[in-house]
């Protein structure tokens, strides 16, 4: 299934894509694509619906983040060896974890705000993982059963704040609009192997990132199991699993986002995001 949230900011309604690509309104079935609605039981209930009985959403509504009420936005750093190399950092011996403020979350096609004074705002296409049930001390063997679904994430990053402001990566990762998520939450049964998905990112039509989740240092199951040793994971928590090489910081010479740039990114089977950057007021 491809679940979606549509409508104005902070007033999104739940929906599902039908076989023709139409959004069908799920408002009469669940309140939101969030929390308990991400459980195996509720997802099975949605899967059993006759979608033709649900109202078709008319027009061209804004698409919101594909999961609502996110409790934690956890990210994995340097999780592709080629990206670690371009960043000039060693491949980590265990997952490098940092948090991204949930206030950074926005829709997949919303504009990206370049912070005041920033000249080093960068891009990172990533595979996102949405947790479906409480996870604590989870084994790698069982880890994927805790996944509700997968999505596209752009881990937008302000490099100067990330790398030169007291070593706190979260400072460079958490500006408003720095967390586009979606367009869809693709439920886990549709993703046969999360370690075999291509992903790409383009800026102004130039392809900078073109990679595969095959080359992750720590796979999705390893990351979930590892995180669950340090914190419990809750339904709706989002894990962004790292980016392959090709970020702006790694170009020679370096390339960073400026107002008016057009970004397109996608992960195989999970949809495409399109964003235009603008300067903070």
Query: pLDDT digit string (tens) for 191-239?
Result: 999 999 999 999 999 999 999 999 999 999 999 999 999 999 999 999 9
For residue 46, count other CB atoms closer than 10 A to its CB.
18
Q: Is 205 exposed, middle or buried (0-12, 13-18, 19+ CB in 10 A)?
A: exposed
Say what percent of the chain tops pLDDT 70.
100
Confidence class for position 37, pLDDT limits 50, 70, 90? very high
What is the 3-class SS of 254-269, one letter each residue? CCCCCCCCEEEEEECC
Three-state DSSP state, 124: coil
Contact between 86 and 68 (Cβ < 8 Å) = no
d(CA 89, CA 71): 30
User: What tokens were used for 99?
Assistant: 């948090």
Q: What is the pLDDT of residue 131?
A: 98
Q: What is the pLDDT of residue 38?
A: 98
Q: What would the DSSP string read from start to end of 17-75? A: E-TTS-EEE-TTT-S-SSGGGGSHHHHHHHHTS-GGGSPBPPS-PPB--SS-S-S-EEE
Say whether pLDDT at 84 is over 80. no
Say what percent of the chain tops pLDDT 90.
91
Three-state DSSP state, 151: strand
Distances (CA, A) of 179 to 40, 136, 141: 26, 25, 29
Q: What is the DSSP letter of 244?
A: -
Confidence class for position 88, pLDDT limits 50, 70, 90? confident
Query: pLDDT digit string (tens) for 103-129?
Result: 999 999 999 999 999 999 999 999 999
Listed residue (272, 273, 108, 269) closest to 191, CA to CA = 269
Q: What is the pLDDT of residue 39?
A: 97
Query: pLDDT digit string (tens) for 126-185?
Result: 999 999 999 999 999 999 999 999 999 999 999 998 888 887 899 999 999 999 999 999
**Domain extent listing, the chain:** 2-53, 73-279
User: What tokens were used for 45?
Assistant: 């209930």
Mean pLDDT of 78-84: 85
Q: Is 196 exposed, middle or buried (0-12, 13-18, 19+ CB in 10 A)?
A: exposed
Three-state DSSP state, 110: coil
Listed residue (179, 176, 137) closest to 156, CA to CA = 179
Q: Residue 151's Cα: distance from chain center in Å?
A: 5
Say whether pLDDT at 250 is over 90. yes
Q: Does the 73-279 domain belong in CATH 3.90.850.10?
A: yes
């Amino acid at each position: 299934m491809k679940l979606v949230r549509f409508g104005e900011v902070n007033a999104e309604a739940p929906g599902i894509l039908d076989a023709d690509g139409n959004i069908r309104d799920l408002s009469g079935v669940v309140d939101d694509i969030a929390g308990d609605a991400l459980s195996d039981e509720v997802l099975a209930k949605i899967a059993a619906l006759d979608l033709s009985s649900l109202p078709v959403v008319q027009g061209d509504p804004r698409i919101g983040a594909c999961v609502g009420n996110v409790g934690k936005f956890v990210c994995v750093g340097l999780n592709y060896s080629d990206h670690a190399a371009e960043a000039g950092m060693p491949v980590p011996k265990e997952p490098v974890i940092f948090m991204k403020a949930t206030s950074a979350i926005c829709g997949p096609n919303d504009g990206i705000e370049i912070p005041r004074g920033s000249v080093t705002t960068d891009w990172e296409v990533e595979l996102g993982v949405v947790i479906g049930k409480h996870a604590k001390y989870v084994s790698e063997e069982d880890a994927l059963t805790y996944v509700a679904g997968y999505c596209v994430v752009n881990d937008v990053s302000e490099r100067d704040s990330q790398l030169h402001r007291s070593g706190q990566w979260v400072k460079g990762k958490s500006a408003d609009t720095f967390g586009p998520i979606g367009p869809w939450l693709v439920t886990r049964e549709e993703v046969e192997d999360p370690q075999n998905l291509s992903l790409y990112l383009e800026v102004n039509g130039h392809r900078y990132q073109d990679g595969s989740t095959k080359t992750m240092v720590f796979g999705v199951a390893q990351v979930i199991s590892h995180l669950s040793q340090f914190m419990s994971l809750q339904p709706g928590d989002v894990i962004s699993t790292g980016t392959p090489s090709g970020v702006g910081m790694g170009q020679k010479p370096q390339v960073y986002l400026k107002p008016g740039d057009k970004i397109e990114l996608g992960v195989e089977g999970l949809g495409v995001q399109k964003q235009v950057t603008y300067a903070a007021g």
